[in-house]
Amino acid sequence: MKGQVFIYDTTLRDGTQGEGVSLSVDDKLKIAKKLDQLGVHYIEGGWPGSNPKDMEFFLRARELNLKHAKITAFGSTRRFGITADADANLNMIIESGVEAVAIFGKSWDFHVTEALGTTLEENLNMIYESVRFLKEKGLEVIYDAEHFFDGYKHNSEYALATLRRAADAGADWLTLCDTNGGSLPHEISEIVTRVKETVETPVGIHCHNDGELAVANSLAAVAAGATQVQGTINGFGERCGNANLISIIPNLQLKLGYACVPEEQLKQLTNTSRYVYEIANIMPPNVQPFVGQSAFAHKGGMHVSAILKAAETYEHIKPEAVGNTRRVLVSELSGQSNLLFKAQELNIDLDKNTPEGRAIIQQVKELEHQGYQYEGAEASFELLVRKGLGEYEEVFTVESFKVLMEKIGDHDAVTEATVKIKVNGQTVHTVAEGNGPVNALDNALRKAIEAFFPDIKEMYLTDYKVRVLSEQDATASKVRVLIESTRDGKDSWSTVGVSANVIEASWEALLDSMRYALMGRHGEAAEIALKETERQGILNH
Ligand SMILES: CC(=O)SCCNC(=O)CCNC(=O)[C@H](O)C(C)(C)COP(=O)(O)OP(=O)(O)OC[C@H]1O[C@@H](n2cnc3c(N)ncnc32)[C@H](O)[C@@H]1OP(=O)(O)O
Ligand SMILES: CC(=O)C(=O)O
């Protein structure tokens, strides 16, 4: 191990400066707990002088009993022309009751004269007096040198002088900020090296992602001697975001050999990332490195063949090291190996290069050519494999279905579906209404099946997606429908249907969804059908 790098999370402060990210106090408290479980060292909760919500967070965070992390407040140096003890923002930091604080000050001479509108000397006094004030109150002080890299490039002497003043006042950390996010890794490396030669106080790094280099820049800073990294979960933050701790932590720990979070807790990384997306109500991108759904998803037949022999042939780390899982996708790009892997996952006995296996792969390729897509429809794929291996018995067969829609004047349209299915030789005919054709068909099909399998009531659709396959054919084109269903809201299964008619494609996906839910219950159907025949007999008597 090369030594400890302290992880400073600012998801709850700089993260919420990102467009579309807004967290309630309860959300912030939940995320703080999760971050503590991950093992970060500092959690910047907000800016007490900014709004009552942030102040409430600090007051309630005292009850969190965190095991590892220090709750940290954020603020700026004092306003110019007043004393630090008269500055409302600095006083609110003290009131918030935190043990650590990050205050930002200006490093770039241009910012001092243009944005602050004061003299270079007064800015140095603002830095010194603010840090001193907070140190005298017993706080750990992280001095965030805003625009440090841009400032250094314009006037290195002044930028370094601001750091010296913070250090002289007793700052515990000097965190160099690439506030505008435009620096390149070699610049960060050179400038951090120069700072390390100039000051003895430990150095941190805070990067923004405007040039898509925030992670690379943070790693370059650590290589040059920074021992604290600031960033956010999933890279949330102002403009294009902050440095993404979800990528920085495993890169530092697994690739570069630094200690960041305890090894066991690194396995919380995927879960933490998804938890924060969930609370922020943002869809996680599948392709997010380390933690995305696709981060360890193998599609090409050649890749799958190799990972079955040795996973590291196509994986840069072990997925389980960051709490993620390996996946194999089945598609027209599959070979026998993809099928073999999926069969193992489904507990299906299948050897490589059997005639059945080859036929199933051929069928997948043919169906994908027609527009089906199995990588997002694993339940339809399992049905296809079991049918191909002769392991599937139909619980019901469809005789016909019909959909009627009527709209009279300004009244709401009424949709009615009729379904005729056969269960173990017995015909069941049902009619149901719905708020659209798919809903009416779903209701009619359930009504028919519920008589035999009452527990089907618990199953419901959670997602329905339609994709036009050949846009040039406009309304005559084929569509692909993907349906996701669940019973308990946790485990779900996806099915696919394809047709030039959207209702038929939906019907096909619906049928697969019901078939998957009832798979293996053929014998049960026979018994229930018999009871139903007896019941009907008694009723008709
Ligand atoms: C790089 C960063 O991410 S810094 C963090 C940015 N985050 C935020 O701004 C979110 C929270 N901010 C807020 O709630 C508000 O901006 C507040 C409460 C802090 C201040 O609000 P207001 O008093 O209305 O001021 P306003 O936001 O309009 O302007 C900021 C003021 O701070 C001054 N200022 C900026 N940086 C500093 C600094 N390092 N030290 C002291 N003063 C500063 C500006 O010069 C400006 O002063 P002026 O009004 O005399 O021109
Ligand atoms: C302090 C801070 O958030 C920045 O300079 O980007």
Q: For the CA atoms of the chain, what is the radius of gyration?
A: 31
- Per the document, the length of the chain is 541
Tell me the CA–centroid distance for residue 77 and ligand 1, in Å.
10
H helices, E strands: number in the chain: 19, 16
Q: What is the pLDDT of residue 209?
A: 98
Task: Quote ipTM for the complex.
Answer: 0.95
Would the CB of 143 count as within 6 Å of ligand 2? no
- Look up residue 489 and give its DSSP letter: S
Calpha distance 317→319 (Å, rounded) = 6
Tell me the CA–centroid distance for residue 51 and ligand 1, in Å.
12
The backbone torsions φ and ψ at residue 323, rounded to the nearest 5 degrees and listed phi first, read 75, 20
Would the CB of 260 count as within 6 Å of ligand 2? no
Calpha distance 198→176 (Å, rounded) = 13
In this structure, what token pair is assigned to residue 414? 């009424």
Tell me the CA–centroid distance for residue 348 and ligand 2, in Å.
54
Residue 283 CB contacts under 8 Å (≥ 6 apart), including other chains = 277
Q: Please, what is the end-to-end C-alpha distance for the chain in angstroms?
A: 83
Calpha distance 33→216 (Å, rounded) = 28
Tell me the CA–centroid distance for residue 229 and ligand 2, in Å.
12
CA angle in degrees (0–180, nearest 5) for 241-245-246 = 105
For 155-207, where are the alpha helices, taking DSSP H only?
A: 156-168, 185-198
What are the strands, taking DSSP E only, across 287-387?
297-298, 327-328
| Matching CATH number, 397-527, of 2.60.40.10, 3.20.20.150, 3.60.21.10, 3.30.160.270 | 3.30.160.270
Residue from 76, 91, 128, 131 whose mutation best tests the ligand 1 pocket (most atoms within 8 A of CB): 76
- Look up residue 451 and give its DSSP letter: T
Q: Do β-strands 327-328 and 492-499 pair in parallel, antiparallel, or remain unpaired?
A: unpaired
**What atom in ligand 1 is closest to the CA of residue 130?**
40
Calpha distance 227→5 (Å, rounded) = 5
In this structure, what token pair is assigned to residue 171? 């700052």
HSE-CB for 17 with a 13 A CA cutoff: 18
Would the CB of 54 count as within 6 Å of ligand 1? no
In this structure, what token pair is assigned to residue 158? 């002044």
Would the CB of 49 count as within 6 Å of ligand 1? yes
Q: What ranges do the domains of the chain cover?
A: 6-261, 297-388, 397-527
In this structure, what token pair is assigned to residue 336? 């026998």
- The residue whose CA has the least distance to atom 45 of ligand 1 is 116
In this structure, what token pair is assigned to residue 206? 């805070």
- The residue whose CA has the least distance to atom 4 of ligand 2 is 179
Would the CB of 177 count as within 6 Å of ligand 2? yes
Q: What is the pLDDT along the chain (541 residues), one digit of tens a residue?
A: 789 999 999 999 999 999 999 999 999 999 999 999 999 999 999 999 899 999 999 999 999 999 999 999 999 999 999 999 999 999 999 999 999 999 999 999 999 999 999 999 999 999 999 999 999 999 999 999 999 999 999 999 999 999 999 999 999 999 999 999 999 999 999 999 999 999 999 999 999 999 999 999 999 999 999 999 999 999 999 999 999 999 999 999 999 999 999 999 999 999 999 999 999 999 999 999 999 999 999 999 999 999 999 999 999 999 999 999 999 998 889 888 998 898 888 888 888 889 999 999 999 989 989 999 998 899 999 999 999 999 999 999 999 999 999 988 888 889 999 999 998 788 999 999 999 999 999 999 999 998 888 888 899 989 899 999 875 665 667 899 999 999 887 789 999 999 999 999 999 999 999 999 998 776 675 666 666 666 555 444 4
**What atom in ligand 1 is closest to the CA of residue 104?**
39
In tens, the pLDDT along 325-356 reads 999 998 889 888 998 898 888 888 888 889 99
Burial of 126 (0-12, 13-18, 19+ CB in 10 A): buried
Fold exhibited by the domain 6-261:
TIM Barrel (3.20.20)
How is the beta sheet containing 426-434 ordered, strand by strand?
397-406, 414-423, 426-434
Cα 346 to chain centroid, rounded: 26
Q: What is the pLDDT of residue 489?
A: 79
In this structure, what token pair is assigned to residue 477? 């084109």
HSE-CB for 395 with a 13 A CA cutoff: 23
Residue from 76, 163, 175, 206 whose mutation best tests the ligand 2 pocket (most atoms within 8 A of CB): 206
Put simply, whether the predicted model's pTM sits higher than 0.95 gets the answer no
Neighbour tally for 149: CB within 10 Å: 29
- Look up residue 67 and give its DSSP letter: S
- The residue whose CA has the least distance to atom 6 of ligand 2 is 179
- The residue whose CA has the least distance to atom 33 of ligand 1 is 116
In tens, the pLDDT along 263-304 reads 999 999 999 999 999 999 999 999 999 999 999 999 999 999
| Ligand closest to the CA atom of residue 79 | 1
Calpha distance 444→431 (Å, rounded) = 5
In this structure, what token pair is assigned to residue 69? 């992390």
